[in-house]
Each structure stands twice: as C-alpha cells, then as structure tokens.
C-alpha cells in the first residue's frame, strides 16, 4: 500500500515542506514548497508570529498543489548544543517462548531514556549492538537480536539530545499552524540518511552543511553520529561582500551570486559580465572572474573555520567529508573543496525528481530516516488517512491536458 509522508524543515533562509509518496521501496515527490523565512536568525526563532505567517504560506501552497491539508508532519531540529552520549540498557525477555520480538527491542532502547537530563530533549537513539544473555551468562553480541532465544537483552546505543527549549520553540510554531509534530529528526542525522554510502558506513566521516547564517558540522563513526557543532558563519557573508563591493542591495547581491556566481576563479570566464543596478540606480557591470574571487575567498574562510572546529569535535582520522547546503549547487565548488581538504571531500547530487537542489537534502533525509525507524519497529504508518489518499486520487481526475508540469507528474504517480 502507498504511504504518504510530510516533513517541515525550518531554516534561517527558507521554510520548506516536502510531501513524499513511498511505494515499493521508492520515493516520489508529490509536492514541495519553499518560502523565504522571517522571524528566525542564525537557526533560532526570534519572532514566532512572523515565522508562523511564513509557515502558513508554505502549508497553503502545499494544499493548493495536492488538494489536501497537511495535518501531520516530521519536524527537523537543528543541531544546536547537541549532546551525544554512549548509553547502556537491558530488559528481561518475559514472553513464554523467551524469543526477542520488535517490542523487546523497543523496550530495551527505551530503557536508556532515564539518563536524559531534565533540560534536554531526546531526539535520537541509535543502537550500536545488542547482547543476549542466558542464565546470567553472555551468549553473543549481535546487530539484530530479533527471534533470538534468551532471558535478557542488553543494548549499547548512542543517545542524542538537544535543549528542550529549542524543541519547544519549533513545536510551538508548527502546532500553531494546525500541524501535529509526529516525530523529531536531528538535521545532522537527516543529512547522513540522505547522502551516506557503503564507504561512509564503514568509516569515520564528516558532514559540513553550509547554511545562510550557520554551518553545521556532524561527525559519524560507521553511520552513528558521535558529535555535532553549529558555527555562527554561513553563506550570507558572501552576499554582504558582494553588496559592499558593488554597492548593491542585499537582495540584488544574492541574485548576482545565485545567477552569475561561480565558486572558483578556475571555473570563471574572464570576459563575461553581468549587469545590475546599485542602490542609487546606477548600472554596474560585474566581471565573473572578479566576482569569483570574492565568493572563493569567503567560501575558503567558511571551510577553514569548519576545519579548525573539527579538531575540537574528534581526534579520529576523517576518511570522508561531505559538504552540503544550497551554496554547493554553485559551479566550481569542487575546486574549492580540493584546495581546502584535498581529494577526500565532495558534494552530493540530489537526483530525486522535483527536488534536485542541495537545499532539499535535509528534508528528504528526514523522511527516509523516519520510514527506516518505523520499519525497524515492524510498524506501518502514513500521515494521510485512507480518505485523504482517496481524495488525492480523485483530485488527479481534475487535471486536464493543460495542467501544470507538477500536475502531470502527480497524475503519473497515481497511475503507476
């Protein structure tokens, strides 16, 4: 049966909503909305009313696209003041067969929650391994204890917590828009879920996500998050430099960066120019090569700050570095990564129809992580009722030959 999932990703730059259909182990984009954020600075909510207005705009946009109101959603949470703790727990196996079930696995994971501090909120528990015991003796340590015979089950896990006030502020905004927060997913974990591969799962890796005002570093050891940090620097400093040097508005500077900018002089055209108006209305001609040097300087600065912070986060050798964020869609970014990190850093190419931009990595990964989690628990879940799904199918019959591209895609999803 087709399942439909929704995620809300609130960031300093934009508020994003994604609706995915999951069927036969494949994800299809049903709708996506992205509106400029207001009321949030450096990843923290400073004006709830302004942010609620922006989120409602995005929700209304989604409703117009699919004809159904979003009532439930996964919420991404930024990695501010994240605490990653190695924890242990154990529970007796009480059923007559002494066989480990999904419920027992869930019980033993929940047994570690007593270690959560009162001012912190648990957002993630990742099992590292399980140990089964018989008559007080250790039998074996395994990754999947399901259907094993024993009288006690123990777990070693990584528990991830963030400040309770941070979670409460995000949940309050979402609930004020009439949406129930079904689950919380740490943005770092969501990023990893989207971009990881077999090599990353076997080694120590680093994810650097460059946002508008912040840059998030997340360290993973064999797929398990071990530390995270949020730096107070982001791609906005590039906009500020462009605005200052060419005497343009910040809005115009951003447009210049996105439409004409390249990340490295090696990729730039020395003769190509772009015309824009400064704050006095005077026409300014911007050379792409000169612009690339401005952008490159700031990108190198951001990455070097991240490189220095990495020394604080871990003393392990990093085998793989993945750099994410909307800025990584810029041509020439790989030259910058090579200059700073050598050949073990790369970007990620989104290839999902409808969301082929780097800014959708986190929101896509959050849904995939949620689906993986409920499957491990042997559960099935959809954020839209069967009546809603029927309504979606009914709505597609209203899409005619002159429908939008999105409408035709949506029609295809439910016909196949």
Please give the structure tokens belonging to residue 209: 């996500």
Same domain, 416 and 310: no
Residue 26, SS3?
Answer: strand
pLDDT at 398 over 50: no
Quote the crossing angle between the two packed helices 164-176 and 48-66, to the nearest 10°: 50
The whole-angstrom separation of Cα 280 and Cα 292 is 24
Are 225 and 302 contained in the same domain?
yes
Cα–Cα–Cα angle for 32, 190, 110, rounded to 5 degrees:
125
Going by pLDDT thresholds of 50, 70 and 90, the confidence category of residue 231 is: very high
Closest CA to 324 of 302, 339, 343: 302
What does the pLDDT look like over 118-144, one tens digit per residue?
Answer: 999 999 889 999 999 999 899 999 999
More confident residue, 180 or 2: 180
The pLDDT of residue 352 is 87
For position 391, what pLDDT does the model report? 60
CA 210, CA 309: separation in Å to the nearest integer?
14
> 10 Å Cβ neighbour count for 136?
7
Same domain for 257 and 370, yes or no, is no
Q: How confident is the model at residue 402 (pLDDT cuts 50, 70, 90)?
A: very low
Pair (150, 228) in one structural domain: no
The sign of the CA dihedral 178, 183, 187, 191 is negative
Judgement on whether residues 205 and 342 belong to the same structural domain of the protein: yes
Alpha helix segments (H runs only) across 342-385: 361-376
Alpha-carbon distance 176 to 99, whole Å? 44
The pLDDT tens digits of the residues spanning 236-251 come to: 999 999 999 999 999 9
Q: Among 315, 348, 381, which residue terminates a domain? A: 348
**Ranges assigned E (strand) in 97-233:** 120-134, 137-142, 152-163, 180-186, 204-210, 215-221, 224-231
State the DSSP H helix or E strand holding residue 70, giving kind and residue range, or none if neither: none
- Name the band, by pLDDT with cuts 50, 70 and 90, for residue 387: low
The predicted structure's pLDDT at residue 304: 98
| Phi, psi angles (nearest 5°) of residue 399 | -85, 115
The stretch 286-297 carries a mean pLDDT of 98
Beta bridge partners of 28: 21
Same domain, 298 and 390: no
Q: What is the pTM of this model?
A: 0.90
Q: Is the pLDDT of residue 385 over 90?
A: no
Residue 171 lies in a domain: no
Among the residue ranges 193-197, 336-340, 379-383, the one predicted with the least confidence is 379-383
Give the model's confidence band at 406: pLDDT under 50 very low, under 70 low, under 90 confident, else very high: very low
Check which CATH number belongs to the domain holding 24 and give it.
3.30.420
What's the mean pLDDT in 210-231?
97
- One domain for residues 17 and 95: no
Which among 362, 355, 356 has a CA at the least distance from the CA of 77? 362
The residue among 144, 163, 182 that closes a domain is 163
- CB proximity list for 200: less than 8 A, separation 6 or greater: 192, 220, 223, 320, 322
Please give the DSSP secondary-structure letter assigned to residue 148. -
Number of domains in the chain: 3
**Domain of residue 154, CATH code:** 3.30.1490.110
Residue-range definition of the domain harbouring residue 91:
83-163
Decide if pLDDT at 88 tops 80: yes
d(C-alpha 211, C-alpha 235), whole Å = 6
């Amino acid at each position: 049966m087709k399942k439909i999932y929704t995620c809300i990703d609130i960031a300093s730059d934009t508020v994003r909503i994604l609706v995915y259909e999951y069927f036969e182990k494949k994800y299809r984009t049903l709708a996506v909305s992205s509106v400029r954020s207001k009321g949030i600075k450096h990843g923290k909510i400073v004006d709830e009313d302004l942010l609620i207005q922006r989120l409602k705009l995005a929700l209304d946009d989604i409703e117009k696209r699919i004809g159904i109101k979003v009532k439930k959603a996964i919420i991404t949470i930024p990695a501010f003041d994240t605490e990653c703790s190695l924890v242990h727990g154990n529970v007796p196996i009480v059923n007559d067969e002494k066989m480990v079930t999904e419920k027992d696995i869930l019980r033993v994971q929940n047994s570690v929650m007593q270690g959560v501090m009162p001012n912190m909120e648990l957002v993630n528990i990742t099992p590292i391994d399980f140990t089964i015991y018989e008559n007080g003796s250790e039998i074996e340590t395994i990754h999947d204890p399901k259907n094993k015979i024993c009288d006690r089950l123990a777990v070693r896990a990584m528990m991830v917590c963030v400040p309770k006030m941070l979670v409460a502020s995000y949940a309050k905004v979402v609930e004020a828009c009439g949406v129930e927060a079904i689950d919380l997913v740490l943005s770092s974990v969501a990023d990893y879920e989207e971009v990881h591969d077999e090599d990353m799962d076997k080694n120590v890796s680093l994810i650097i996500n460059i946002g508008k005002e912040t840059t998030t570093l997340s360290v993973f050891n064999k797929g398990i998050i071990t530390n995270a940090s949020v730096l107070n620097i982001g791609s906005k400093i590039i906009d500020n430099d462009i605005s200052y040097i060419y005497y343009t508005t910040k809005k115009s500077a951003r447009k210049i960066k996105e439409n004409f900018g390249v990340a490295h002089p090696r990729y730039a055209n020395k003769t190509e120019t772009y015309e824009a108006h400064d704050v006095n209305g005077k026409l300014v001609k911007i050379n792409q090569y000169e612009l690339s040097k401005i952008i490159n300087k700031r990108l190198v600065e951001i990455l070097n700050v991240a490189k220095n912070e990495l020394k604080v986060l871990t003393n392990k050798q990093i085998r793989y570095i993945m750099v994410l964020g909307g800025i990584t869609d810029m041509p020439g970014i790989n030259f910058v990564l090579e200059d700073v990190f050598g050949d073990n850093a790369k970007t990620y190419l989104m290839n999902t129809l409808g969301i082929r931009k780097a800014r959708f990595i986190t929101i896509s990964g959050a849904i995939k992580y949620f689906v993986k989690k409920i499957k491990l628990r042997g559960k099935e879940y959809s954020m839209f009722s069967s009546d809603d799904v029927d309504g979606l199918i009914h709505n597609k019959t209203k899409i005619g030959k002159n429908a939008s591209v999105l409408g035709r895609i949506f029609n295809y999803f439910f016909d196949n």
